[in-house]
Structures are given as structure tokens and as C-alpha cells.
Chains A and B, each alone.
Chain A
Amino acid sequence: MGITLSADNLAFRWDHTRDVFSQVSFTLHPGELFCILGPNGVGKSTLLRCLINLLDLHRGFVRIDGADIRKINRQVLSRKMAFVPQGYDVAFSYTILEYVLMGRAPYISAFSSPAEEDVKIAVNAIREAGVYHLIDKPITEVSGGEHQLALIARALAQQPEILLLDEPTSHLDFGNQMQVLSLIERLSDRGITIIMTSHFPDHAFIVSDQVGIMREGVLSTIGPANSVITSTTLQETYNVDVRVEYNEVAKRNVCIPLRYNKAGPNPVEPVLDMLLRDCSDPAYLYANCD
């Protein structure tokens, strides 16, 4: 069990003109958990979509066990890789069970419907994700967090060896975030290779084996969380004053965002001041934001 996934010098551009990212390379071994951090709009979701061949790469190769994923039949690929998108929009009120059963699609031929075996796998996936109590509830009536867990259950019903999660913890409350993270950790322990994007550097400390920070179209540094996520890198990435400190209670590093505090031990210039100094006319300010 387990596949090695490697990304080799990936590049993507919208409409063949606007570069989103380039020179993205990494290799993941079975059961590794890779967490991608980065500011909004930097291309994290785009990268995930490229990794599962939903978007066409401009350059580079994604390989699983040495085979180019673009050359693999989509149905075969979907038995190995599952994707949990960030947004969801379901037109009809399927029950959670029907919704998760759709994850069995890669194993069901075009002319047939789920069999009892598929129901068993789906029910177990629902149990695993911890939404068994909602099994008969319409998906349109559950909360955002429950929907997220149902999506993960659906991905699990695919019985994938690689799981891609696009910001699985956004929109979730504190409790649900931890529930999702603990689920992700359990899956990783079971040997599933996981790639997730996140907005919370803390989450990378909690679960990840490897962390990559995406900035200005490149995945600049990749390595264990403790070496990649530092006060300096976070400040450079998010343009805010952040301290990464070891916490005795949590027994791990935690990120503490600070306010613009010039009198602090390490005075950092407020972001707004930096921006305003750089550009005296507002047009320049707009030019920076896509």
C-alpha cells in the first residue's frame, strides 16, 4: 500500500499568459502529510487542481509511482487519488449516504448502480468521518462543517492512496477544525498520503510531516514544520508581525500574531506604513493586488 507522488518542475498559467506558479517540485512518500501554506490568491488551490489533473499544467509532470497522471485513465486515477474541494454547491438534497455513495463512482461501471458492498464501504467512510448520526439527513440541510466532513467521507469512499484537501479547515469552528485535523492525522497514520492547503500555520505544526510555503508563484521552502515555519518566514509571507514560540502546554511550536507594536522586543514596521511609503499614489497600490 502507498504510492510515491512526485511533482517535477510544475508551472501553470491562466490563458497561457498570466503565470500563477512555476518551478514547483516536491516528492511525497506513502503516508506523508504535506501542508501548503500561503497567502490568499497565491495559487494553492490551482496547484491542487493541477496535481489531480483538473487543470492543465503549462510545464512539468506530476507522477505517481513514476507514471505521468495525464496518461492515466481518469477512472483509474480516481481510485488512487481523491480530491476534497473547498467550496461545494449541491443542487439537490441528497442524503449524506447518497452523497458519500457517489464516492464509489470509480468502482462502478457506467451502466450500474452501487451494490451492497459499496453501501458498506460508504457507511464505514461515514463512520470514519464521524457523521454517522447524520446519515439520513439531506446534505442541503447540514452545517458547513458537517458538509466538509461528508466531503471527506466521500473521498474516503474512493479508497484513495493519495488525498488532496483544499483548505479543509476553513469555514469551520474551533471544535470542527480539531475534529477534521484529527481525522486527517488518523488517515495519514493509515498510510494515505495527504496534501492539504491551509490558512493556519498552527495546523501545520499540529499534523504535518512536511510544510511548503507558497509565495509569489513558487513553493519556496519545503521541510519539516519546525524548520520552515519561523517568525521570519511568516512575516515575509503574510506581512504581519508573527512570533513562533514553543509552548509548554501544547508541547509544540505555536504562532502568535502580534499587533503592530513598535515598542515590542523586536520592533517591526507596521504593514500599512510600509505600503504607504512604497507608493505615494493609490494607483500603485491597486496594481499590487489581483
Chain B
Amino acid sequence: MNHPDPLPENDNLSLPGEQDRYKNEPDDITRIIKKMHFTTFLTAGLCILPFIVILCSLFIGRYEISPQTVMHILLSPIIPMEHTWSAAEETIILQIRLPRIIAAVMVGAALSMAGAAYQGLFKNPLVSPDILGVSWGAGFGAAIAILVTSNSGAVQICAFIGGITAVASTYFLSRLYKSEHILVLVLSGVIVGSFFQALVSITKYIADPYETLPTIVFWLMGSLSSVNYTDIISIAPAILFGGAILLLIRWRINLLSLGSDEAKALGINMKQITRIIIICATLLTAASVCISGIIGWVGLVVPHLSRMTTGPDYCRLLPMTIVIGASYLLIMDDIARTLISTEIPLGILTALIGAPFFAFLLWRRKTGWV
């Protein structure tokens, strides 16, 4: 055999120039860290977005009130000033628009966070917060309550209990299979969701078609039109608790999207973190659903929008879903209450706008996974 150029060093495989790579090392790292800080700073700037939307939302509505008056009414409890507005105007701003706006912000943020957390847990960007059956469970709870009572507080409590029950059934059903595979959880969610959907159908079937059936149907369509401060205060603890925990563990959610084995090899207690995420996301979703009814698409579209803004790292993604989710649902709710002379159910609107919008995102191929 003829080898004109035998390798000079066979036992040393290092490539030429390998040592040069370590030049400028500190500079590079400072540059990278600076760049990370800058990105965080930019995204933090977006936090003012919901506040702008909140302010604008206060100004719009079927009853016209000038922005100046709105500002006066808002500031009047804090700064003493002369009453230059009517009592009706004050009621509209403080008792109707403001609670509704707060509720939209909370529900939007909660559903979006839950959706983003589940997408990480299930390693699938097509997952929405009702993947484990929470919506239909809540729907069934609410439907039963509407059948027997007209008390809106009871409806909310039953919806909340129904949602939690559905997710608990899903979780324990998945444990029966003795498999740690995350797909089993999804499958159980589908089973439990369908079951509760059937139960909802039964309650609709036996409901009084003139009295209770329309109420059930409207509840299922989702709306924030009758929200008051009591509702907000009653769901706030669940949303704050679930949201705070998710925000605290947000970096760890990244690791789940690597898959169970790799996450374990990185020292993650999979069972524990899966449970924490399910509990938090369920609290967020069930609390939202019980005051707003079923509002689809928010938990699916908003995480995608956020991912396009910040990238997939949950460190920045999860705070961004709050910002975008709150603004998104608030804008939707503004449209729902002002577009035509009667109220459009919010759930219908989010689907009507959300689905084409999602299709648009896919078409732009900016989602990073198609």
C-alpha cells in the first residue's frame, strides 16, 4: 500500500488550531451575558402593554364617557376632587367596566400560563389548558348547579369542583396503567374529557328548554359580562397561588420538554414536578373557567405568540404569556362588548378570531416547529 502522507501523530486526535479557540474567552462571555440582559430588558419593556390596553378599555363602551371623566372617576377615591360626573357614569366605570377588565386580565393571564406550562410538560406545542378535561368537568359542574339553583355563587363553586374532579380522575386513571409515559396522561385526559362532555349533554337534554337550557348553553359559550368584585376576590387566591408557583419553577419547565429520561438524568424529580404543574395549571384553569365559562383558544394561541416574541425559554416565556395573555383576552372582551349592539359570547369570539389567527401563525412558519 502506498500512503504518501501518513498521519504524523496517530494517538493525538486534536485538531490544529484547537488552542486558539480559547482566545478572547472572557470577552465572549461578557458579550453573551450582556446580550442576555439586553433581551430581558427589551421583553421587560413589553410589560407596559397590558396597562395601555387596560386604560384604553376603560374608555370604550356603549355608553360614551370622555377619557378625562374616566380618569377623574378612577382617581377620585385616591385624590379628593369635585364630583363633575353623574352617578351613572361612576357606576359604569367602577362597577361594570373595571371588574370586567380585571377579570379579563386575570383569566387571560391564567389560561395562557396554564397552556404554556402544559405545552412544556407534554412536550407538545398543540396542547391547551383543557387537555386533562378540566373544561368539561367544570362545564358539567356548572350545568348541574344551573339545573338545581339560580345562585351564581353556587354555579361557580360547582364549576370549580367539577373541573378539579375531572383532572383528579384523569390523573388517577393514568396511574392505573403503571406507566410513567406522559402520553398515558393525555389519553386519560381525552377519556375523562369525553365522559364529562357526555354528562354535560345529558344535563342539557333533561334541562328545561325555556329556562335552564339557555343558561347552560350561554355558560358553556363563555362570557365575562356578569363579573363582579366578589367573583374576582373569590378566584384571586387560586390564580395568584398557581401563577406564583409556576413562575417560581419556570426555568425547570424547560427541562421537562427534553423528555422524561433526560430530565431525570439532569436530576429532576419527574413525578414531583409533573404533579406540581398539573396542580397549578388546574387551579389556574378551573378558577378562570368558573367565572368566565369555557373560553377556548387563548391557552393555545397566546403561548405561541409569546414564543415568537421571547423564544422558547420559559424564563422569559412564562412572564411574557402573562403580558400577552392579559392583553389578548382583554382586547377580545372589548370586541365582544362593543362590536355589535348585543354582547357576543367571549368563547365564540376567541375561537372565531383565534382559529384563523393560529392558521396565520402556522402559515408564517414563525412558530419554530413547523
Chain A residues, Cβ within 8 Å of B33: 116, 119
B72 at the interface (CB under 8 A from A): no
Tell whether, in the assembled complex, residue B13 and residue A108 are in contact, meaning their CB atoms are under 8 Å apart: no
Please, how many angstroms separate the alpha-carbon atoms of A79 and B268 in the complex? 12
- Of chain B, the residue at the smallest CB distance from A114 is B251
Please, how many angstroms separate the alpha-carbon atoms of A83 and B264 in the complex? 10
Tell whether, in the assembled complex, residue A105 and residue B252 are in contact, meaning their CB atoms are under 8 Å apart: yes
Assess A251 versus B10: contact at CB under 8 Å? Given A91-B125, A97-B32, A98-B313: yes
Tell whether, in the assembled complex, residue B368 and residue A250 are in contact, meaning their CB atoms are under 8 Å apart: no
Question: Which of the four size classes fits the interface of chain A?
Answer: 35 or more
Chain B residues, Cβ within 8 Å of A120: 29
Assess A182 versus B315: contact at CB under 8 Å? Given A74-B264, A89-B259, A127-B22: no
Chain A residues, Cβ within 8 Å of B36: 119
Assess A79 versus B267: contact at CB under 8 Å? Given A97-B32, A111-B248, A127-B22: yes
A135 at the interface (CB under 8 A from B): yes
Please, how many angstroms separate the alpha-carbon atoms of A240 and B262 in the complex? 35
Chain B residues, Cβ within 8 Å of A89: 123, 259
B168 → chain A closest CB, angstroms:
24
B249 at the interface (CB under 8 A from A): yes
A59 at the interface (CB under 8 A from B): no
Please, how many angstroms separate the alpha-carbon atoms of A152 and B269 in the complex? 22
Q: Mark A140-155, 1 if CB is under 8 A from B, else 0.
A: 1000000000000000
- Of chain A, the residue at the smallest CB distance from B313 is A98
Tell whether, in the assembled complex, residue B251 and residue A98 are in contact, meaning their CB atoms are under 8 Å apart: no
- Of chain B, the residue at the smallest CB distance from A181 is B13
- Of chain B, the residue at the smallest CB distance from A252 is B10
Q: Mark B303-343, 1 if CB is under 8 A from A, else 0.
A: 00001000111010000000000000000000000000000
A171 at the interface (CB under 8 A from B): no
Chain A residues, Cβ within 8 Å of B125: 91-92
Assess A185 versus B13: contact at CB under 8 Å? Given A74-B269, A92-B307, A102-B266: yes
Tell whether, in the assembled complex, residue B269 and residue A123 are in contact, meaning their CB atoms are under 8 Å apart: no
Tell whether, in the assembled complex, residue B21 and residue A132 are in contact, meaning their CB atoms are under 8 Å apart: yes
> Max chain A CB contacts within 10 Å: which of B10, B33, B269, B313?
B313
A52 at the interface (CB under 8 A from B): yes
Please, how many angstroms separate the alpha-carbon atoms of A123 and B368 in the complex? 23
Tell whether, in the assembled complex, residue B10 and residue A140 are in contact, meaning their CB atoms are under 8 Å apart: no
B258 at the interface (CB under 8 A from A): yes
Tell whether, in the assembled complex, residue A105 and residue B255 are in contact, meaning their CB atoms are under 8 Å apart: yes
Tell whether, in the assembled complex, residue A92 and residue B266 are in contact, meaning their CB atoms are under 8 Å apart: no
Chain B residues, Cβ within 8 Å of A78: 265-267
A268 at the interface (CB under 8 A from B): no
Tell whether, in the assembled complex, residue A127 and residue B6 are in contact, meaning their CB atoms are under 8 Å apart: no
Please, how many angstroms separate the alpha-carbon atoms of A76 and B269 in the complex? 12
Tell whether, in the assembled complex, residue B267 and residue A113 are in contact, meaning their CB atoms are under 8 Å apart: no
Q: Mark B4-24, 1 if CB is under 8 A from A, else 0.
A: 001100110111000001100
A93 → chain B closest CB, angstroms:
4
Assess A83 versus B265: contact at CB under 8 Å? Given A91-B123, A91-B125: yes
Tell whether, in the assembled complex, residue B251 and residue A94 are in contact, meaning their CB atoms are under 8 Å apart: no
Please, how many angstroms separate the alpha-carbon atoms of A82 and B265 in the complex? 7
Please, how many angstroms separate the alpha-carbon atoms of A252 and B13 in the complex? 14
Please, how many angstroms separate the alpha-carbon atoms of A88 and B119 in the complex? 18
- Of chain A, the residue at the smallest CB distance from B5 is A249
A214 → chain B closest CB, angstroms:
20
Please, how many angstroms separate the alpha-carbon atoms of A120 and B29 in the complex? 6
- Of chain A, the residue at the smallest CB distance from B1 is A249
Tell me which of A49, A82, A93 contacts B368 (CB under 8 A): A93
CB-based closest 5 A-B pairs: A78-B267, A182-B13, A92-B312, A93-B368, A75-B267
Which of B's residues lie within 8 Å of A, judged by CB?
Answer: 1, 3, 6-7, 10-11, 13-15, 21-22, 25, 28-29, 32-33, 36, 119-120, 123-125, 248-252, 254-255, 257-259, 261-262, 264-269, 307, 311-313, 315, 368-369
- A selection of 16 A-B contacts at a CB cut-off of 8 Å is A75-B268, A82-B265, A91-B123, A94-B312, A98-B311, A102-B254, A110-B249, A111-B248, A116-B33, A124-B25, A127-B25, A130-B21, A138-B368, A181-B13, A182-B14, A182-B15
